[in-house]
């Protein structure tokens, strides 16, 4: 059984850091299902939010230790069991003939998504939320015809009053 | 002081007290080689970059200092790769300086360009590419700091040619500041106390020592620990020399070609105290049946070694330099006489042995002949294969760094360049190399280096005219189908040695062997002795792969 793990990895913002992380995971045959990296409240520190699928729990504990061992990694935070706030941003381009627009707009409203661009043949919709919400929205858009989907990958924040790194 | 990047590299090496570097020049390395010219650091030109990497490794293992090798970009750098992986898996401190094409040529498939930082990421402790000459001194300090602290390992520093030639004010930083790297030194003293209490309950304890003991220079403390507690000891190949084999409680090596006593002791023990070892699969046999009744205690510096292979019950996460003296102080003599008697009976009744029942020289006899002749402070270097296991079994090691061998990666071709490194670091001491007719050919070009540097390495080739270990497995597990493992055309190794300007000898008989050992001991330059040995000899005892250690076949 594959299990999903959510990781927040704080790293030095320097070249090669992603190579080190991805080569460590790929060596074990672990697939990264989502990855998002960006700057943090600390200068020079980047946060990499990872969702990976792992089949063996004991191997996973070992991999966390090996990640911690990487020189450029300052902190590895496993967030899987604390149901963190999860969000991803997606842009969805759907086919939108004039007679379909009303219904697309309707669904967009229900999901609290936003229409950010309109073309005579298509619309671009922006949606933020948990991955499942984005999945559900994309499913509904399927019948109009999805031209393109772009998703940022999930980012996570713990609900605790302090920063996750502490 | 305004210096070019290349001059700054040399200054950094001097600040790190580097006296010898191993390398091979090339296009983009020329500025660095110009700075090395007459700089006071001894540069040893190997005949292949792989040789430079292994030589730096042998230098580091024999001296405990950081080994340094230098190469040019592209093929120069990729030729270091096997040497880097070899050092990484055995935790050898090394700094590998690879020169790189100019910054503006990077990523354009330029002449002799290879992404060496990308290539070495999974096989090194860390790597850097230097982008500006201003950051060079800082990166060099970090490289030496990372290589030599915590669990040591190889660090690659990739320097583009334009960085080597641009100039900047040089100042060597004191202590590097690395946010993500805080090597463990001290640990939790209460954990040691817990282990001491666990030990008090144990009826059948065993120590298992690994390379960590040698890396932390704790062999003396281990000896004290063993003498004080009276607990039997086994070792991985990396830890084998950390306790004198003649010590009555030393059971010898553990694992596939370990001793009967060591394998039985670990299988039957109720407490296994592991000191700086990592449970390689050649040591554990079937993991599920490894020390099945034992509480596992692990002293290690690396958190990722805890629970990696064998679930650990108690761990002391710290440098052995910190933990072992405290542990040794806390323990007292163990009341385990029945257990020790049992183990020592196994040791007595099942010694390592071989029969001299053929006209041909037995390979083990070569090891024994050299063992008797060599000085107590000598180094014994090996290549990889049957001769390596026989060396581990039959040679004695007079000091913790005496055995130099590619244990983890099993790199054929390691021996000769590693012996060069060991001899360069220890010019006054004997260096004996055991190799095979397979292994020696993988870096035989380094004979030229040994001759050029007049390094009196004593090379003994255990020549069974094929790939002995491969043939042993084919004999035992593949129905004697000797696929690709016979050298149909023999190489005249004596002539090969002479072609390089070394002394060469050929040995067929026991009398010739005796003469060759005596001659080699006295020889002032490199000497190669090609000993024809019994071809079909197996390394025994053996734990067949994937089985429990007590399934040992003698």
Helix (H) or strand (E) holding B159: strand B154-160
Q: Rounded to 5 degrees, what angle do the CA atoms B237, B290, B325 make?
A: 55
Contact criterion met (CB < 8 Å) for A65 and B303: yes
Share of chain A above pLDDT 70, in %: 99
pLDDT attached to residue B13: 98
Specify whether A101 is located in the same domain as A39.
no
Bridge partners (DSSP) listed for residue B197: none
Mean pLDDT of the region B187-200: 97
Domain contains A93: yes
Domain contains A166: no
Bridge partners (DSSP) listed for residue A151: A90
Q: What is the pLDDT of residues B166-191, one digit of tens each?
A: 999 999 998 888 888 989 899 999 99
Q: Are strands B458-463 and B527-532 parallel, antiparallel or unpaired?
A: parallel
Mean pLDDT of the region B419-432: 98
Going by C-alpha positions, the residue among B553, B389, B544, B385 that lies closest to residue B477 is: B544
Specify whether A50 is located in the same domain as A33.
yes
A82 pLDDT more than 90: no
Lowest average pLDDT, out of A14-23, B36-45, B278-287, B451-460, goes to A14-23
Going by C-alpha positions, the residue among B42, B219, B169, B179 that lies closest to residue A165 is: B179
Domain contains A163: no
Q: Is B217 exposed, middle or buried (0-12, 13-18, 19+ CB in 10 A)?
A: middle
Domain limit, last residue, from A52, A82, A112: A82
Report residue A135's pLDDT band, with 50, 70 and 90 as the boundaries: very high
Residue B158 token pair: 């990739």
Cα B101 to Cα B106: distance, rounded to the nearest angstrom: 6
Q: Nearest CA of chain B to the CA of A51: how many Å? A: 21
Report residue B27's pLDDT band, with 50, 70 and 90 as the boundaries: very high
Cα B279 to Cα B302: distance, rounded to the nearest angstrom: 13
Cα atoms in the Cβ-side hemisphere of radius 13 Å centred on B29: 25
Mean pLDDT of the region B80-95: 98
User: What is the span of the domain harbouring residue A71?
Assistant: 3-82
B257 pLDDT more than 90: yes
Specify whether A11 is located in the same domain as A76.
yes
Domain limit, last residue, from A62, A82, A102: A82
What CATH number does the domain containing A109 carry? 3.30.70.1150
Q: Are strands A85-95 and A146-151 parallel, antiparallel or unpaired?
A: antiparallel
Q: What is the pLDDT of residues B289-312, one digit of tens each?
A: 999 999 999 999 999 999 999 999
Cα atoms in the Cβ-side hemisphere of radius 13 Å centred on B200: 10
pLDDT attached to residue A12: 93
Q: Is the Cβ of B175 closer than 8 Å to some Cβ of chain A?
A: no
Share of chain A above pLDDT 90, in %: 69
What CATH number does the domain containing A10 carry? 3.30.70.260
Mean pLDDT of the region B77-94: 98
Cα B390 to Cα B62: distance, rounded to the nearest angstrom: 21
Better pLDDT: A166 or B94: B94
pLDDT attached to residue A163: 86
Domain contains A35: yes
Specify whether A135 is located in the same domain as A90.
yes
A57 pLDDT more than 80: no
Mean pLDDT of the region B445-453: 98
Q: What is the pLDDT of residues B113-149, one digit of tens each?
A: 999 999 999 999 999 999 999 999 999 999 999 999 9
Cα B114 to Cα B426: distance, rounded to the nearest angstrom: 34
Report residue A55's pLDDT band, with 50, 70 and 90 as the boundaries: confident
Work out the number of other CB atoms within 10 angstroms of the CB of residue B115. 17
Domains B2-169 and B189-349 share a fold: yes
pLDDT attached to residue B216: 97
Nearest CA in chain A to B305: A62
List, as ranges, residues 97-136 from B with C-beta within 8 Å of A: 117-118, 121-122, 125-127, 129, 131
Q: Nearest CA of chain B to the CA of A15: how many Å? A: 8
Q: What is the pLDDT of residues A25-50, one digit of tens each?
A: 988 888 899 999 999 998 899 999 99
What is the average pLDDT value for chain A, to the nearest integer? 91
Chain A residues whose beta carbon lies within 8 Å of the beta carbon of residue B302: 69
B232 pLDDT more than 80: yes
Work out the number of other CB atoms within 10 angstroms of the CB of residue B445. 16
Fold classification of B2-169 is Rossmann fold (3.40.50)
A71 to each of A11, A163, B79, B84, B121, how far by Cα in Å? 9, 22, 24, 17, 11
Contact criterion met (CB < 8 Å) for B180 and A11: yes
Report residue B242's pLDDT band, with 50, 70 and 90 as the boundaries: very high
Chain A residues whose beta carbon lies within 8 Å of the beta carbon of residue B306: 65
- Cα end-to-end span (Å), chain B: 66
Peptide bond before B541: cis, by omega within 30 degrees of 0? yes
Report residue B431's pLDDT band, with 50, 70 and 90 as the boundaries: very high
A56 pLDDT more than 80: no
Q: Is the Cβ of B546 closer than 8 Å to some Cβ of chain A?
A: no
pLDDT attached to residue A2: 80
Alpha helices (runs of H) in chain A, residue ranges in sequence order? 17-27, 57-69, 101-110, 131-141
Nearest CA in chain A to B184: A69
A165 pLDDT more than 80: no
Report the residue of A26, A71, A75 to disrupt the B interface, i.e. the one with the largest count of B CBs within 10 Å: A71
pLDDT attached to residue B358: 86
Report residue B29's pLDDT band, with 50, 70 and 90 as the boundaries: very high
pLDDT attached to residue A81: 83
Specify whether A15 is located in the same domain as A63.
yes
Q: Nearest CA of chain B to the CA of A44: how many Å? A: 10
> What CATH number belongs to B189-349?
3.40.50.1220
Cα B541 to Cα B230: distance, rounded to the nearest angstrom: 26
Give me the residue spans of the domains in chain B.
2-169, 189-349, 363-532
pLDDT attached to residue B174: 83
Mean pLDDT of the region B354-369: 95
Where are the extended beta strands (E) located within B247-347? 250-253, 271-275, 295-300, 314-317
Specify whether A101 is located in the same domain as A76.
no
**Number of domains composing chain A:** 2
Catalytic residues of B: 49, 111-112, 161, 469
Chain B residues whose beta carbon lies within 8 Å of the beta carbon of residue A47: none
Nearest CA in chain B to A76: B180
Please give the backbone phi and psi of residue A43, each rounded to the nearest 5 degrees, phi first.
Answer: -65, 150
Contacts of A106 (CB under 8 A, 6+ apart): none
Fold classification of B363-532 is Rossmann fold (3.40.50)
Q: What is the 3-state secondary structure (H, E, C) of B295-354?
A: EEEEEECCHHHCCCCCCCCEEEECCHHHHHHHHHHHCCCCCCHHHHHHHHHHHHHCCCCC
Q: What is the ipTM of this complex?
A: 0.82
- Of A19, A27, A73, Cβ closest to residue B180: A73
Specify whether A90 is located in the same domain as A66.
no
pLDDT attached to residue B39: 97
pLDDT attached to residue A80: 82
Where are the extended beta strands (E) located within A84-135? 85-95, 114-119, 122-129
Cα B367 to Cα B373: distance, rounded to the nearest angstrom: 10
Contact criterion met (CB < 8 Å) for A69 and B307: no
With H, G, I as helix, E, B as strand and everything else as coil, classify residue A133: helix
B346 pLDDT more than 80: yes
Specify whether A144 is located in the same domain as A98.
yes
Nearest CA in chain A to B143: A71
Domain limit, last residue, from A82, A110, A140: A82
Contacts of B461 (CB under 8 A, 6+ apart): B435, B436, B437, B440, B493, B528, B529, B530, B531
Bridge partners (DSSP) listed for residue B87: none
């Amino acid at each position: 059984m594959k299990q999903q793990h959510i990781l927040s990895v704080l790293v030095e913002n320097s070249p090669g850091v992603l190579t080190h992380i991805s080569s460590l995971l790929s060596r074990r045959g672990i697939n990264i299902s989502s990855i998002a990296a960006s700057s943090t409240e600390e200068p020079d520190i980047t946060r990499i939010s990872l969702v990976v699928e792992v089949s063996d729990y004991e191997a996973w504990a070992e991999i966390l230790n090996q990640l911690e061992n990487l020189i450029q990694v300052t902190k590895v935070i496993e967030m899987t069991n604390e149901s963190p706030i999860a969000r991803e941003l997606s842009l969805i381009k759907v086919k939108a003939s004039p007679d379909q627009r009303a219904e697309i707009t309707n669904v967009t409203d229900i999901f609290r998504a936003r229409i950010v661009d309109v073309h005579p043949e298509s619309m671009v919709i922006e949606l933020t939320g948990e991955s499942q919400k984005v999945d559900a929205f994309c499913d509904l858009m399927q019948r109009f015809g999805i031209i393109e989907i772009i998703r940022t990958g999930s980012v996570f924040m713990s609900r605790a009053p302090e920063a996750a790194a502490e | 002081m305004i210096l070019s990047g290349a001059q700054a590299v040399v200054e950094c090496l001097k600040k790190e007290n580097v006296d010898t570097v191993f390398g091979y020049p090339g296009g983009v390395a020329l500025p660095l080689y110009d700075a090395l010219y007459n700089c006071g650091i001894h540069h040893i030109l190997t005949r292949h970059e792989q040789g430079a990497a292994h030589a730096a490794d042998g230098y580091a293992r024999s001296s405990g200092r950081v080994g340094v090798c230098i190469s040019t970009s592209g093929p120069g750098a990729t030729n270091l790769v096997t040497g880097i992986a070899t050092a990484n898996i055995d935790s050898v401190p090394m700094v590998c300086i690879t020169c790189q094409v100019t910054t503006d040529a990077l990523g354009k498939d330029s002449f002799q360009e290879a992404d060496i930082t990308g290539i070495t990421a999974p096989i090194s402790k860390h790597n850097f590419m230097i982008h500006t000459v201003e950051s060079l001194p800082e990166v060099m300090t970090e490289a030496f700091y990372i290589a030599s602290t915590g669990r040591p390992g190889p660090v690659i520093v990739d320097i583009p040619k334009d960085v080597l030639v641009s100039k900047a004010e040089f100042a060597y930083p004191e202590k590097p500041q690395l946010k993500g790297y805080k090597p463990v030194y001290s640990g939790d003293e209460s954990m040691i106390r817990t282990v001491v209490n666990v030990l008090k309950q144990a009826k059948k304890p065993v120590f298992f020592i690994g390379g960590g003991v040698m890396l932390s220079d704790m062999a003396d403390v281990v000896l004290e620990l063993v003498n004080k507690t009276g607990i039997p000891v086994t070792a991985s190949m990396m830890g084998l020399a950390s306790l004198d084999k003649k010590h009555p409680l030393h059971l010898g090596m553990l694992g596939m070609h370990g001793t009967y006593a060591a394998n039985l002791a670990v299988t039957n023990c109720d407490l296994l105290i592991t000191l700086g070892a990592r449970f390689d699969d050649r040591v554990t046999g079937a993991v599920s049946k490894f020390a099945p009744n034992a509480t596992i205690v692990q002293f290690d510096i690396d958190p990722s070694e805890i629970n990696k292979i064998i679930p650990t019950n108690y761990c002391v996460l710290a440098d052995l330099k910190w933990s072992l003296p405290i542990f040794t102080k806390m323990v007292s003599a163990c009341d385990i006489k029945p257990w020790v008697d049992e183990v020592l009976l196994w040791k007595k009744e099942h010694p390592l042995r071989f029969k001299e029942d053929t006209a041909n020289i037995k390979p083990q006899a070569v090891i024994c002949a050299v063992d008797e002749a060599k000085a107590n402070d000598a180094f014994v270097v090996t290549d990889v294969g049957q001769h390596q296991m026989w060396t581990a079994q039959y040679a004695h090691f007079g000091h913790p760094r005496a055995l130099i061998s590619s244990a983890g990666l099993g790199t054929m071709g390691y021996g000769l360049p590693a012996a060069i490194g060991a001899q360069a670091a220890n010019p006054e001491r004997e260096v004996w190399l055991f190799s095979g007719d397979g292994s020696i050919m993988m870096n035989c070009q380094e004979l030229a280096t040994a001759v050029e540097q007049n390094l009196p390495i004593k090379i003994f080739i255990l020549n069974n005219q094929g790939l002995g270990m491969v043939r042993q497995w084919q004999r035992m597990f593949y129905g004697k189908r000797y696929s690709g493992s016979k050298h149909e055309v023999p190489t005249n190794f004596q002539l090969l040695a002479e072609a390089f300007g070394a002394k060469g000898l050929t040995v067929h008989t026991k009398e010739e062997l005796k003469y060759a050992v005596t001659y080699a001991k006295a020889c002032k330059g490199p000497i190669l002795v090609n000993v024809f040995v019994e071809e079909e000899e197996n390394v025994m005892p053996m734990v067949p792969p994937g089985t429990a250690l007590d399934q040992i076949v003698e």
